[in-house]
A and B are shown apart, each in its own frame.
Chain A
């Protein structure tokens, strides 16, 4: 049995402390976030955790106006797919960015987004 290079739990603990983590394949160098068991590029199963800068740009975004019950009090709120500087992408809640400023290509920076004591991925102004 092989322990994962970084478990989901550990990822969100570090994210909660402000540090975004990825994993890099020790064979082909491919970067992945979140961690996967096998490297999608080469099929190897040897990863090492790597810190990510958290800097990226908006690849696509939406403003949710009809929200699930747990998020209804936040509506309207924005969610974006963010392409990180390192090449991988992550979905996150946008925080402290006026909705009218949202645009594809807008630079943003990772920050933890916490609801009900649970950390998720967020992005604020760069």
Chain B
């Protein structure tokens, strides 16, 4: 496989927008192309993530639509849907397209619009990522899935609600340093613990918000990347793993085996291990999800992810900074865009461009994106010369 680099990134402000997902993507992609110093005509393919477009915007065929709105209607375009991991799955396939020599420049990204519908509607649409016959019929929600994980983790390891709350407090603090974040406001442990229950034991402030937004990254072959405007950030690995769709088929709800498998594959591709990682953007759709992910990625021993958050080890300035962008919790979670936005943040960190949220001396970064009911996980690794 040829080496692949990220040479441009772009992210919209996350939050509420009065624009379509295609328009949001076009803004992010336009910024990514300016960052890369390339004209739109340089793009040879678009790999696009969008999840609930058919529900919230009554729109299918969102890939070509996004390409048309961007003004590159003739490039081959494919939409990826792996629930919340969609644009990270798109990224992995784009890496393979360049790595295999098919293309030299590929645009990857995603966008989502959900704040144009009610919370009841979006709760229902997100639940479509669980099984229609076996799980949706029970009234299972997305917070409900992670509540089952949280309860199992608490029972097995003694993880506390205060430890989960510490993740929210930390990510909100990081979010204050990110001008693109949906929430740029600190919160207290007490506020988290006293917020209303959504799915016991997860409270409102344990949950990431519904978000509109777009994100894009420009990938290039080594030959193109060497001549790019910005220092290339190399893709050291990009791996995917899946797991049983049904909660009932998962053997141990305190773990996310797909994270463990994707991480093992990524570390093996790069010849690196968790001890080599300096900065992480991971999928904190719920506070417990961050705790379980830090364990699954091998950053902390099983059962100690909650302690790591509580002790500040995962804060910027701590020994293993996690989600300097504010994470899904504070930056926001426009599901089709999230994977690309995480990659944009790690690229920004490795370029040492992250300003007040910069992780000092970051040389190797990791992104982790989880889809739906823990059945899809993508892990990618990035480095600089």
Q: Which A residues have a C-beta under 8 Å from some C-beta of B?
A: 8, 12, 33-34, 59-72, 74-75, 77, 79, 81-82, 88-93, 104, 113, 115, 118, 120-121
Starting from the known contacts A68-B124, A93-B138, 19 additional A-B residue pairs (CB-CB under 8 Å) come to A12-B133, A33-B248, A34-B134, A60-B148, A62-B148, A63-B199, A65-B198, A65-B199, A66-B119, A67-B123, A68-B136, A69-B121, A79-B140, A81-B247, A88-B248, A93-B139, A104-B151, A104-B152, A118-B137
CB within 8 Å for A68 and B246 given contacts A62-B151, A63-B199, A81-B148: no
Knowing A33-B248, A61-B151, A65-B200, say if A81 contacts B138 (CB, 8 Å): no
Q: Is B274 an interface residue (CB 8 A)?
A: no
Instruction: Check A121 against B249 for contact (C-beta < 8 Å).
Output: no
Query: Is B120 in contact with chain A by the CB < 8 A criterion?
Result: yes
Query: Which B residues touch A82, using CB under 8 A?
Result: 248
B137 surroundings in chain A (CB, below 8 A): 113, 115, 118, 120
* Chain B count of residues within 8 A CB distance of the other chain: 36
Q: Are A68 and B148 in contact (CB under 8 A)?
A: no
Closest to A102 in B: B200
B residues less than 8 Å from A88 (CB atoms): 248
With an 8 A cutoff between CB atoms, is B155 at the interface? Answer: yes
Q: List the A side residues contacting B196 at CB < 8 Å.
A: 65
Give A122's nearest chain B residue, CB to CB.
B138
Using a CB-CB cutoff of 8 Å, which residues 98-132 of chain B contact chain A?
Answer: 119-121, 123-124, 127
Determine the chain B residues whose CB is within 8 A of the CB of A93 once the complex forms. 138-139
CB-based contact A60/B139 at 8 Å: no
CB-based contact B199/A59 at 8 Å: no
The 7 nearest A-B residue pairs measured at CB: A71-B139, A62-B147, A120-B137, A68-B124, A63-B200, A60-B152, A90-B248
Given that A62-B148, A79-B144 are contacting pairs, would A68 and B120 also be in contact in the complex, using a CB cutoff of 8 Å?
Answer: yes
What per-residue 1/0 map shows which CB atoms of B2-35 lie under 8 Å from chain A? 0000000000000000000000000000000000
Beta-carbon contact of B123 and A66 below 8 Å: yes
Chain A residues, CB < 8 A from B135: 91
Most interface-central of A62, A66, A81 (chain B CB within 10 A): A62
Q: How distant is A39 from chain B, measured CB to nearest CB, in Å?
A: 13
Q: Kindly report which residue of chain A lies nearest to residue B139, judged by CB atoms.
A: A71
Asked if B53 CB lies within 8 Å of chain A CBs, one says no
CA distance A112 to B264 in the complex (A): 41
- Asked if residues A74 and B139 are in contact (CB atoms below 8 Å), the reply is yes
CA distance A100 to B202 in the complex (A): 16
B141 contact from A61, A64, A90, A121, Cβ within 8 A: A64
Measured between beta carbons, the chain A residues less than 8 angstroms from B134 are 34, 91, 120-121
Quick one: closest B residue to A72, CB to CB? B120
B322 beta carbon closer than 8 Å to chain A: no
16 cross-chain CB contacts under 8 A: A59-B253, A61-B148, A62-B148, A64-B139, A64-B143, A65-B199, A66-B123, A66-B198, A69-B124, A77-B139, A81-B148, A81-B152, A89-B249, A93-B138, A93-B139, A104-B151
Q: In angstroms, how far is the closest chain B Cβ from the Cβ of A61?
A: 6
Which one of A34, A81, A92, A120 contacts B253 once the chains associate, using CB atoms below 8 Å?
A81
Q: A75: which B residues are within 8 A, CB to CB?
A: 139
